[in-house]
Amino acid sequence: MPHEEVEHVTVSSVEHDLVIVGAGPTGLFAAYYAGFRGMSVAVVDSLPELGGQITAMYPEKSILDVAGFPDVKGRDLVAGLVAQAATASPTYLLDRTATTLEQDADGVTLGLDDGSSVRAKVMIITAGIGKFSPRPLPAGDGWLGRGMEFFVPSFEPYAGKDVVIVGGGDSAFDWALHLEPIAGSVALVHRRDAFRAHARTVEQVRASSVEIITKAEVTALRDAAGGSTGDLAEVEITVDGEVTTRKAQAVVAALGFVADLGPLQQWGIETNKRHLVVDSSMRTNLERVFAAGDITDYPGKVRLIAVGFGEAATAVNNAAVVIDPSAHVFPGHSSEGS
């Protein structure tokens, strides 16, 4: 989704009260809340657009766990968060990866992969799952962009097509549900007869015209001539050892993704597998470094967008006291005005 109102700063260094690493929903809300607390803020993200995973992978997905919105599309949620964050006049440093972290008594210096740097009094990491790459479909080698995709950022290209979706998680079922009224046909192929997707979504798909094929794998993709040089025309599906062929002009390999924290792992932050360990104030083990959202871990952690918003406010309010020890953690309600 475009963000024409966002200025891509190209300066070699900037200095702010707070730097946020990650421009997904949690990071954008943290930027807004930092402005509410009177902080100047910079936001760094390795992606070229705001919105994190939602913009990159799920802009048309219906999001159901945001308070006050029974059903909101990803792109609409991001647009609202960007507009809200604009009140803080954040400096956006997009398409840049945070690589190094240096600390001293007065703050942190974040080095970026383009040679620029950000100096701040406090940092909040809201990097979601970190850097991610889709899990490959072995049979789809060489077909990316020629009939096979890993994500469905727009539904229109699938209108009237025979679509095969491979996977059993939330993304696979969400896309099956949304493509069913648009595509010519939709089949969902999964190697097991149990699914990781939300039970409600599974039942909705079962009640639709989507064909669910379990204990199965897509073992080959072919063009109309039975080769691999033309446009996708059919897929080979192996079910319990038996091979069948199905007409398909589009395959979505929704097999999840591999994520890692990248350079963050070298900064000395305590981790639990691929998550950052925080306390109840969202502090990491490093002085002046907080975290919020899906990247964090603590006993009882629930990874929802709604939870990330609360953690962002908690992190910003506690960071405010680090910046100014005379400040209060609780500033009063944002609805009270100034």
| CB 23, CB 125: distance < 8 Å | no
* Annotated binding-site residue? 207: no
Residue 26 assigned ligand-binding role: yes
Give me 220's structure tokens: 């080959």
Determine if residue 294 is labeled as part of a ligand binding site.
yes
Q: Annotation-wise, does 109 bind a ligand? A: no
**Closest-CA residue to 126 (of 32, 11, 239):** 32
Assign 85 to helix, strand or coil: helix
Give the angle subtended at the CA of 320 by the CAs of 288 and 129, to the nearest 5°. 55
Query: DSSP code of 335?
Result: G
- To the question of whether residue 58 is assigned a binding role by annotation, the answer is yes
Distance (Å, rounded) from C-alpha 209 to C-alpha 176? 10
Q: Which residues have C-beta within 8 Å of that of residue 310, sequence separation ≥ 6?
A: none
**Tokens at 97, concatenated:** 């990866």
CB atoms within 10 A of CB 5: 8
Annotated binding site for FAD: 26, 45, 53, 58, 98, 132, 294, 335
Annotated binding site: 26, 45, 53, 58, 98, 132, 294, 335
